[in-house]
């Protein structure tokens, strides 16, 4: 009886922000997987352990949540003034599908450290002590991210005192700049608000008409008021993820928002676009107890935000959605800005299921349209394991 041997592929398992994923250098992938297509998708799904009808990803590296079913491919950049190209693949847990339509802001924090340690950043650009600036081209969405990576003795510093709600242990702080977060792939200024409005009426079948802010910054995101859909903004995962009716309602909002934003031709196409757009609901500050048991006071935050990722309420906040929150908060009149008290602001601290997060954005109005030059936030990253992943050779 013949059997297929396993092949091994150099890989690094990393935490970035509140997510985990398997990182590869493009050059280390099998030849067929070095280009986009079915062979690459099949390989990454097998690495992660998808599709899994049991929803556990037992036979792979995935952790059976949207935050842990992720892959990253990094290579030396083909673009001027950039160090590396970064491609993110969100692997569906129960379906044979890899979504390449958006970025992961959390894993963005791990790209710089991975690139430095993997020899993808020119040696003369690496500081012995201090900070190394890594210029990243985010290939999924055609945007620039600048990572400020702490260094000690010529190596990435991973340990430190920086605490991030949603991550159990402290680590070294990595500052991220998302440059022109609404820019097009060619560098031209994209539409921050695809509909042209900071607030729209969104008609959702079976629900009625909702006020919505639909923004393209960090990741396309549809914001609605928590009270308009029956929530307070203090909800935790169990309050949403075990409620099939709630999940169906939120997915319907996402579908209509995606259609109005021009991301899909019809609302029915949303099933093939799981990663983007995100849908989130916002509310004015209120006291609540985070999932860790930490008490969050209304006086400590500017607003409350809860966001959906891959059909479930996220346990903390996606990094790209945090960029969208920062951008929307900086622009007067959006639902996010109004929940935070209105007016002009460059920084905002919001409450999420795991605690709080501070983010910022620089927005200005030009020729009647809002533009954002930069959004900023801090994350941390750490190597969890490095070596090889193994998959059956029969993987296409």
Catalytic residue annotation: 104, 318
Q: 318 Cβ partners below 8 Å, 6+ apart? A: 104, 105, 106, 219, 278, 307, 309
Cβ atoms of 285 and 351 within 8 Å: the answer is yes
Question: Distances from the Cα of 45 to the Cαs of 33, 48, 99, 169, 230, in angstroms?
Answer: 12, 5, 11, 29, 37
CA atoms within 13 A on the CB side of 91: 31
Nearest to 383 by CA among 165, 157, 206, 176: 157
Nearest Cα residue to 77 out of 66, 89, 87, 65: 87
Q: In this structure, what is the dihedral angle of CA atoms 148, 154, 156, 162, given to the nearest 10 degrees?
A: -70
Beta bridge partners of 145: 136, 178
Residue 310: closest CA among 141, 143, 136, 104: 104
Cis geometry, peptide bond prior to residue 51 (ω within 30 degrees of 0)? yes
287: helix, strand or coil:
coil
Q: Which helix (H) or strand (E) holds 217?
A: strand 208-217
Torsion of CA 261, 267, 269, 273, to 10 degrees: 50
Whether 139 contacts 161, CB under 8 Å: no
Query: Within a 10 A sphere around the Cβ of 382, how many other Cβ atoms?
Result: 18
* Total residues belonging to the chain: 396
Q: Which two tokens stand for residue 162?
A: 């920086």
Q: How far apart are CA 298 and CA 306, in angstroms?
A: 15
């Amino acid at each position: 009886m013949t059997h297929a041997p396993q092949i091994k592929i150099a890989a690094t398992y990393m935490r970035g922000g509140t997510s985990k994923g398997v990182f590869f250098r493009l050059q280390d992938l099998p030849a067929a997987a070095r280009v986009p297509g079915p062979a690459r998708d099949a390989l990454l799904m097998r690495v992660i352990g998808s599709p899994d009808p049991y929803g556990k990803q037992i036979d792979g590296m995935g952790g059976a949540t949207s935050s842990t079913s992720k892959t990253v491919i990094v290579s030396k950049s083909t673009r001027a003034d950039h160090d590396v190209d970064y491609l993110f693949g969100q692997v569906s847990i129960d379906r044979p599908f890899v979504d390449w339509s958006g970025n992961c802001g959390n894993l963005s924090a791990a790209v710089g450290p991975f690139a430095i340690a993997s020899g993808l950043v020119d040696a003369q650009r690496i500081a012995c002590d201090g900070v190394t600036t890594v210029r990243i081209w985010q290939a999924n969405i055609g945007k620039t991210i600048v990572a400020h990576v702490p260094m000690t003795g010529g190596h990435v510093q991973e340990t430190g005192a920086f605490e991030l709600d949603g991550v159990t242990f402290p680590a070294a702080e990595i500052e991220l700049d998302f440059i022109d977060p609404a820019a097009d792939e060619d560098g031209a200024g994209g539409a921050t608000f695809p509909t042209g409005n900071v607030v729209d009426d969104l008609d959702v079948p079976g629900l009625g008409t909702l006020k919505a802010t639909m923004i393209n910054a960090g990741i396309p995101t549809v914001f609605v008021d928590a009270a308009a859909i029956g929530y307070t903004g203090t909800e935790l995962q169990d309050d949403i993820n075990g409620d099939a009716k709630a999940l169906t309602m939120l997915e319907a909002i996402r579908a209509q928002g995606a259609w109005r934003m021009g991301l899909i031709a019809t609302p029915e196409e949303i099933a093939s676009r799981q990663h983007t757009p995100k849908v989130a609901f916002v509310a004015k500050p209120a006291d609540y107890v985070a999932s860790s048991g930490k008490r969050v006071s209304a006086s400590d935050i500017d607003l409350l935000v809860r966001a959906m990722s891959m059909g479930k309420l996220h346990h903390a906040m996606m990094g790209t959605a945090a960029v969208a929150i920062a951008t929307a908060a900086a622009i007067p009149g959006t639902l996010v800005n109004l929940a935070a008290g209105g007016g002009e602001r460059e920084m905002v601290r919001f409450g999420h299921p795991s605690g709080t997060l501070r983010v910022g954005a620089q927005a200005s109005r030009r020729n009647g349209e809002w533009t954002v030059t930069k959004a900023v936030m801090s994350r941390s990253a750490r190597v969890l394991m490095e070596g090889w992943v193994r998959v059956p050779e029969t993987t296409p």
